Amino acid sequence: MKKIIRYIVIAVIAVLFIGTFVFLYRKSKPEEVRYQELTATVQDIDKTTVITGKITPRNEVNVKPQINGIIAELLKEAGQQVQKDEVIAKLKVIPDMNSLSSAQSRVRLSEINLQQAQVNYDREKALFDRNMVSAEEMDKVSQALAQAKEERAGAQDALEVIRDGVSSSNATSSSTLVRSTITGLILDVPVKVGNSVIQANTMNDGTTVATVADMTDLIFDGNIDETEVGMLFEGMPMKITIGALRDYTLDATLEYVAPKAVENNGANQFEVKAAVNVQSDKMIRSGYSANAEIVLETVKNVLTVPESALEFIGEDTYVMLKGEDGKYRKQKIETGLSDGVNIEVKSGIKEGDTVRGPKIVEDEESTDNVEEVTGNE
């Protein structure tokens, strides 16, 4: 029995020893390096740049009241269409007491002047009827009476506008009615019924009652780096992608490049604007974040290889070219335009040549379907 146990222990030790030896041998054995094989092909190369920005309406206006007051009624809300001169809100006037007092004083003074002018006219008329004054004198008092009447009417209108926001002689254009100045979509109504509003003046921008924009005329507004702005020109086509609308692109045409740079995060950038070709099948909202892709340069039907195949020694560029014997050797090439994935090859190799690509990662199952080569220098 003891002999059997001894043999078992010896056998286990032997197995462990042999297994450890095999494991260490395999670990110490150099692994075969495998690379992807890439083919030189003829295709078009486009050098593009992407500009980040946003979609905004070309014509966006803030509608403000013509008088100070309180919002009595809102007739429109954000998201509704509005026509030019259509009423958005109605105001209740809160007159300035100093202005109201001055207007009332002006009315009283005009009434006194009118009464005196009427007395003068009646007196001169009686004398004129008896041929005791000339026609010229009669014309002067008639003119004075007419001026007094006009001043009285003007003073009364001014008082009504200050007190009520509208005069009886011009009720159709009441300043208590806040009207849209353009036809478009109401983007925002930042006030509520009961809010106080003030008119714009030299000391204050005034209260915005509504923001209205023409959403059929949109522009892309973004910034481009100074290293690329020299390649732009008005009329260049652009492709606009909107982050909020998946798989949706719009055509645009570059129409403005700023003549002056602005500093952004330490880099000089230039503002660009492009007219967007709006499509009716999607609702484009003001302020959408968007990217614009512009083709800066392009070459047609040129020999290309993936940039991952390039090797650089000093200022020279090489690829590892596969020979007829299946081995690889360094081949100097001259490169041209790149799109970030593929690069133009002007000389050094020809169409159909095989070059060495990136190293294959061994633990990926997908590499089983990739052609492999031994790394020969």
- pLDDT, tens digit, for every residue of 203-254? 888 999 999 999 999 999 999 999 889 889 899 999 999 988 888 899 999 9
Confidence of residue 367 (pLDDT cuts 50, 70, 90): very low
**Higher-pLDDT residue of 145, 166:** 145
Query: What average pLDDT does range 258-262 have in this prediction?
Result: 92
For residue 275, what pLDDT band results from cuts at 50, 70 and 90? very high
pLDDT of residue 344: 92
pLDDT at 104: 84
Q: In the prediction, which pLDDT does 325 show?
A: 86
Q: What is the pLDDT of residue 99?
A: 78
pLDDT band, very low/low/confident/very high, at 376 (cuts 50, 70, 90): very low
Q: Give the pLDDT band (50/70/90) at residue 369.
A: very low
pLDDT digits (tens, 9 = 90+) for 45-67: 998 999 999 999 999 999 999 88
87 pLDDT higher than 80? yes
pLDDT at residue 22, as a whole number = 67
Mean local confidence (pLDDT), 308-325: 89
Model pLDDT for residues 88-118, shown as the tens digit of each residue: 999 887 776 787 788 888 889 999 998 999 9
SS (H, E, C) the chain: CHHHHHHHHHHHHHHHHHHHHHHHHHHHCCCCCEEEEEECEEEEEEEEEEEEEEEEECCEEEECCCCCEEEEEECCCCCCEECCCCEEEEEEECCCHHHHHHHHHHHHHHHHHHHHHHHHHHHHHHHHHCCCCCHHHHHHHHHHHHHHHHHHHHHHHHHHHHHHCCCHHHHHHCCCEEECCCCEEEEECCCCCCCEECCCECCECCCCCEEEECCCCEEEEEEEEHHHHCCCCCCCEEEEEECCCCCCEEEEEEEEECCCCEEECCEEEEEEEEEECCCCCCCCCCCCEEEEEEEEEEEEEEEEEEHHHCEEECCEEEEEEECCCCCEEEEEEEEEEECCCEEEEEECCCCCCEEEEEECCCCCHHHHHCCCCECCC
Residue 188: the pLDDT is: 94
Lowest mean pLDDT among 1-10, 178-187, 308-317: 1-10
Best CA proximity match to 336, nearest among 308, 309, 298: 298
* Residue 297, strand partner residues: 47
pLDDT value, residue 342: 92
Contact, 288 vs 244, CB < 8 A? yes
The predicted structure's pLDDT at residue 173 = 54
pLDDT of residue 375: 43
For residue 164, what pLDDT band results from cuts at 50, 70 and 90?
Answer: low
> Do the beta carbons of residue 300 and residue 42 sit within 8 Å?
no
Q: Evaluate if residue 372 carries a pLDDT over 70.
A: no
- The CA R_g of the chain, rounded to the nearest whole Å, is 43
- What's the CA gap between 335 and 311, in Å, rounded? 12
The mean pLDDT of 25-37, rounded to a whole number, is 70
State pLDDT tens for residues 6-30: 767 777 777 777 777 666 666 665 6
Q: Which residue did the predictor score with more confidence, 81 or 93?
A: 81
